[in-house]
Amino acid sequence: MKVPDLRSRFRPRAGILLAAAAFTVPLHEGDPWTNLKYRNIPANHVTFSSDGLRIDVRNSAGPLVFKLPKTLNVIGLRWTGKIHDFPNLPSGIRQGEKGADDYAIRIGLVLEGKKRPSFAEKLFAPQWVKTLFSLAPEGSGIDRILFLSVGQQEAMLGRERIHPLSDFLEEKVEWVRAEPGKIDVSASFEDPLPTLAVWISSDGDDTKSKFTVQITSLTLNTVTN
Protein backbone atom coordinates (compact mmCIF):
# COMPACT_ATOMS: atom_id res chain seq x y z
CA MET A 1 0.00 0.00 0.00
CA LYS A 2 1.30 3.45 -0.91
CA VAL A 3 1.82 5.58 2.18
CA PRO A 4 0.47 9.15 1.91
CA ASP A 5 3.17 11.82 1.68
CA LEU A 6 3.29 13.38 5.13
CA ARG A 7 5.48 16.18 3.85
CA SER A 8 2.69 17.72 1.80
CA ARG A 9 0.28 17.72 4.74
CA PHE A 10 2.68 19.44 7.10
CA ARG A 11 4.38 21.89 4.76
CA PRO A 12 5.02 25.28 6.46
CA ARG A 13 3.69 28.45 4.89
CA ALA A 14 6.12 30.27 2.62
CA GLY A 15 7.94 33.19 4.17
CA ILE A 16 7.95 31.87 7.75
CA LEU A 17 11.38 32.02 9.39
CA LEU A 18 12.15 28.98 11.51
CA ALA A 19 14.67 28.61 14.34
CA ALA A 20 16.27 25.23 14.99
CA ALA A 21 16.41 23.61 18.41
CA ALA A 22 16.88 20.17 19.94
CA PHE A 23 14.87 18.26 22.53
CA THR A 24 16.54 15.47 24.49
CA VAL A 25 14.09 12.71 25.42
CA PRO A 26 14.71 11.59 29.04
CA LEU A 27 15.76 7.94 29.26
CA HIS A 28 17.16 7.58 32.76
CA GLU A 29 13.92 7.57 34.79
CA GLY A 30 10.67 5.77 34.18
CA ASP A 31 8.35 8.37 35.76
CA PRO A 32 7.82 10.44 32.59
CA TRP A 33 6.97 7.30 30.58
CA THR A 34 3.80 5.24 30.26
CA ASN A 35 4.44 1.51 29.87
CA LEU A 36 1.43 -0.02 28.11
CA LYS A 37 0.42 -3.65 27.79
CA TYR A 38 -1.35 -5.22 24.84
CA ARG A 39 -4.34 -7.42 25.57
CA ASN A 40 -3.42 -11.13 25.81
CA ILE A 41 0.28 -10.52 25.04
CA PRO A 42 3.05 -10.72 27.69
CA ALA A 43 4.64 -7.34 28.42
CA ASN A 44 8.29 -6.51 27.83
CA HIS A 45 10.57 -5.99 30.82
CA VAL A 46 11.66 -2.35 30.84
CA THR A 47 14.33 -0.72 32.98
CA PHE A 48 15.65 2.84 33.20
CA SER A 49 19.12 3.64 34.55
CA SER A 50 22.09 5.95 34.09
CA ASP A 51 22.88 3.89 30.98
CA GLY A 52 19.51 4.76 29.44
CA LEU A 53 16.47 2.70 28.51
CA ARG A 54 16.70 -1.11 28.29
CA ILE A 55 13.96 -3.29 26.79
CA ASP A 56 14.09 -7.05 27.36
CA VAL A 57 11.78 -8.89 24.98
CA ARG A 58 10.80 -12.44 25.96
CA ASN A 59 8.13 -13.64 23.52
CA SER A 60 6.53 -10.32 24.42
CA ALA A 61 5.61 -6.87 23.17
CA GLY A 62 4.47 -3.49 24.41
CA PRO A 63 4.73 0.23 23.73
CA LEU A 64 6.46 2.90 25.78
CA VAL A 65 5.00 6.39 25.52
CA PHE A 66 6.56 9.72 26.44
CA LYS A 67 4.24 12.72 26.14
CA LEU A 68 6.10 15.84 25.10
CA PRO A 69 5.64 18.96 27.25
CA LYS A 70 4.07 20.66 24.21
CA THR A 71 3.61 20.02 20.51
CA LEU A 72 7.00 20.13 18.80
CA ASN A 73 7.63 20.61 15.09
CA VAL A 74 10.08 17.79 14.45
CA ILE A 75 12.35 17.87 11.40
CA GLY A 76 14.57 14.95 12.39
CA LEU A 77 15.80 12.66 15.11
CA ARG A 78 18.90 10.79 16.19
CA TRP A 79 19.22 7.87 18.55
CA THR A 80 22.10 5.77 19.83
CA GLY A 81 22.19 2.47 21.65
CA LYS A 82 22.82 -1.22 21.20
CA ILE A 83 20.84 -4.08 19.71
CA HIS A 84 21.93 -7.27 21.49
CA ASP A 85 19.96 -9.58 19.22
CA PHE A 86 17.05 -9.65 16.78
CA PRO A 87 13.69 -11.37 16.31
CA ASN A 88 13.96 -14.88 14.88
CA LEU A 89 12.38 -14.38 11.47
CA PRO A 90 11.00 -17.50 9.77
CA SER A 91 12.84 -18.49 6.61
CA GLY A 92 11.31 -17.29 3.36
CA ILE A 93 9.01 -14.66 4.93
CA ARG A 94 9.47 -10.91 4.59
CA GLN A 95 9.73 -9.02 7.83
CA GLY A 96 6.43 -7.35 8.65
CA GLU A 97 4.26 -10.06 7.12
CA LYS A 98 2.04 -12.35 9.17
CA GLY A 99 4.22 -14.64 11.28
CA ALA A 100 7.16 -12.22 11.03
CA ASP A 101 5.67 -8.90 12.17
CA ASP A 102 8.31 -8.23 14.81
CA TYR A 103 11.00 -5.56 14.85
CA ALA A 104 13.82 -5.07 17.33
CA ILE A 105 12.75 -1.46 17.69
CA ARG A 106 10.37 1.06 16.20
CA ILE A 107 10.82 4.73 17.08
CA GLY A 108 7.42 6.37 16.73
CA LEU A 109 6.25 9.97 16.55
CA VAL A 110 2.63 10.62 17.53
CA LEU A 111 1.45 13.27 15.08
CA GLU A 112 -1.18 15.87 15.88
CA GLY A 113 -4.21 15.91 13.60
CA LYS A 114 -8.00 16.07 13.46
CA LYS A 115 -9.06 12.53 14.35
CA ARG A 116 -10.98 12.18 17.60
CA PRO A 117 -12.42 9.07 19.24
CA SER A 118 -15.91 7.97 18.36
CA PHE A 119 -18.35 7.01 21.08
CA ALA A 120 -17.58 3.31 20.46
CA GLU A 121 -13.83 3.92 20.61
CA LYS A 122 -14.19 5.70 23.94
CA LEU A 123 -15.96 2.64 25.35
CA PHE A 124 -14.48 -0.39 23.61
CA ALA A 125 -11.14 0.52 22.01
CA PRO A 126 -8.01 -1.21 23.37
CA GLN A 127 -6.04 0.72 25.95
CA TRP A 128 -3.29 1.72 23.54
CA VAL A 129 -5.85 3.46 21.30
CA LYS A 130 -7.39 5.28 24.28
CA THR A 131 -3.90 6.37 25.35
CA LEU A 132 -3.18 7.57 21.83
CA PHE A 133 -6.22 9.85 21.81
CA SER A 134 -5.44 11.10 25.32
CA LEU A 135 -2.19 12.62 24.04
CA ALA A 136 -4.01 15.26 21.99
CA PRO A 137 -4.46 18.67 23.63
CA GLU A 138 -7.92 20.09 24.22
CA GLY A 139 -9.58 21.02 20.95
CA SER A 140 -7.16 19.00 18.84
CA GLY A 141 -6.83 15.37 17.75
CA ILE A 142 -4.50 12.70 16.40
CA ASP A 143 -3.28 12.05 12.89
CA ARG A 144 -1.35 8.80 13.42
CA ILE A 145 1.85 7.29 14.77
CA LEU A 146 4.71 7.47 12.29
CA PHE A 147 7.10 4.59 13.06
CA LEU A 148 10.70 4.48 11.90
CA SER A 149 11.80 0.86 12.23
CA VAL A 150 15.08 -1.03 12.29
CA GLY A 151 14.73 -3.89 9.82
CA GLN A 152 16.89 -6.98 9.37
CA GLN A 153 16.46 -7.62 5.65
CA GLU A 154 18.28 -5.36 3.20
CA ALA A 155 15.45 -5.60 0.68
CA MET A 156 13.07 -4.01 3.20
CA LEU A 157 15.01 -0.74 3.49
CA GLY A 158 12.68 2.17 2.73
CA ARG A 159 9.52 0.06 2.72
CA GLU A 160 6.46 2.08 3.78
CA ARG A 161 3.00 0.93 4.75
CA ILE A 162 -0.11 1.59 6.74
CA HIS A 163 -0.16 -1.29 9.21
CA PRO A 164 -2.92 -3.82 8.42
CA LEU A 165 -4.00 -3.89 12.08
CA SER A 166 -4.76 -0.17 12.35
CA ASP A 167 -4.99 2.95 10.20
CA PHE A 168 -3.36 4.82 13.10
CA LEU A 169 -0.04 3.04 12.46
CA GLU A 170 2.20 4.18 9.61
CA GLU A 171 5.57 2.50 9.28
CA LYS A 172 8.79 2.98 7.35
CA VAL A 173 11.83 0.72 7.56
CA GLU A 174 14.27 3.60 7.98
CA TRP A 175 17.36 1.59 8.92
CA VAL A 176 18.60 -1.97 8.36
CA ARG A 177 20.98 -3.93 10.55
CA ALA A 178 21.88 -7.59 10.04
CA GLU A 179 24.26 -8.01 12.99
CA PRO A 180 23.91 -7.15 16.68
CA GLY A 181 25.97 -4.28 18.01
CA LYS A 182 26.08 -0.58 18.73
CA ILE A 183 23.86 1.71 16.68
CA ASP A 184 24.01 5.44 15.97
CA VAL A 185 21.45 6.50 13.38
CA SER A 186 19.38 9.48 12.35
CA ALA A 187 16.49 10.47 10.12
CA SER A 188 15.27 13.77 8.74
CA PHE A 189 12.03 15.13 7.32
CA GLU A 190 11.78 17.73 4.60
CA ASP A 191 9.05 19.58 6.48
CA PRO A 192 8.16 19.83 10.18
CA LEU A 193 5.92 17.16 11.72
CA PRO A 194 3.75 18.42 14.63
CA THR A 195 4.56 15.84 17.26
CA LEU A 196 2.75 15.18 20.54
CA ALA A 197 4.68 12.21 21.92
CA VAL A 198 7.38 9.61 21.36
CA TRP A 199 6.11 6.02 21.07
CA ILE A 200 8.73 3.24 21.27
CA SER A 201 7.90 -0.36 20.42
CA SER A 202 9.89 -3.61 20.51
CA ASP A 203 8.11 -6.83 19.56
CA GLY A 204 8.90 -10.54 19.80
CA ASP A 205 5.46 -12.08 20.28
CA ASP A 206 4.82 -12.93 16.62
CA THR A 207 8.10 -14.84 16.19
CA LYS A 208 8.41 -16.09 19.79
CA SER A 209 11.74 -14.30 20.10
CA LYS A 210 14.01 -13.24 22.94
CA PHE A 211 16.31 -10.23 22.57
CA THR A 212 17.40 -7.00 24.24
CA VAL A 213 17.59 -3.42 22.99
CA GLN A 214 19.19 -0.45 24.73
CA ILE A 215 18.67 3.22 23.91
CA THR A 216 21.35 5.46 25.37
CA SER A 217 20.24 8.73 23.77
CA LEU A 218 17.31 10.04 21.74
CA THR A 219 17.18 13.60 20.41
CA LEU A 220 14.46 15.32 18.41
CA ASN A 221 15.53 18.09 16.06
CA THR A 222 12.83 20.75 16.01
CA VAL A 223 11.99 24.15 14.58
CA THR A 224 9.97 27.04 15.96
CA ASN A 225 8.49 30.13 14.31
Q: For residue 124, what pLDDT is reported?
A: 78
pLDDT at 4: 45
Whether 176 has a pLDDT exceeding 80, the answer reads yes
pLDDT in tens, 30-84: 999 999 988 889 999 999 999 999 999 999 999 999 999 999 999 999 999 999 9
The region of weakest confidence among 110-119, 123-132, 135-144, 212-221 is 123-132
> How does residue 17 score in pLDDT terms, banded at 50, 70 and 90?
low
148-172 pLDDT per residue, tens:
999 999 999 999 999 988 888 999 9
Q: pLDDT tens digits for 88-98?
A: 999 989 999 98
CATH architecture of 16-224: Sandwich (2.60)
- pLDDT computed for residue 208 by the predictor: 96
Q: Which of 6-15, 27-36, 134-143, 155-164 has the lowest mean pLDDT?
A: 6-15
When the pLDDT of each residue in the chain is averaged and rounded to a whole number, the result is 90
Find the range with the poorest average confidence among 91-100, 121-130, 196-205.
Answer: 121-130
Q: Where are the domains of the chain?
A: 16-224
Mind giving me the DSSP string for the chain? Answer: -PPP-HHHHTPPPTT---EEEEEEPP-S-STTEEE---TTSPBPEEEEETTEEEEEEES-B-EEEEEEEEEEEEEEEEEEEEE-----PPTT--TTSTT----S-EEEEEEEESB---HHHHHHS-HHHHHHHHTSPTT-EEEEEEEEEEES-GGGTT-EEE-TT-TTEEEEEEEE-SS-EEEEEEEEEEEEEEEEEEEEE---TTTT-EEEEEEEEEEEEEEE-
Grade residue 7 by pLDDT with cuts at 50, 70 and 90.
Answer: very low
- % the chain with pLDDT above 90: 72
pLDDT at 15: 44
What's the confidence (pLDDT) of residue 127? 87
**Is residue 60 a contact partner of residue 41, using CB atoms and an 8 Å limit?**
yes
Q: Which whole number is the average pLDDT over 183-212?
A: 96
pLDDT at 9: 43
3 pLDDT above the threshold of 50? no
pLDDT computed for residue 43 by the predictor: 94
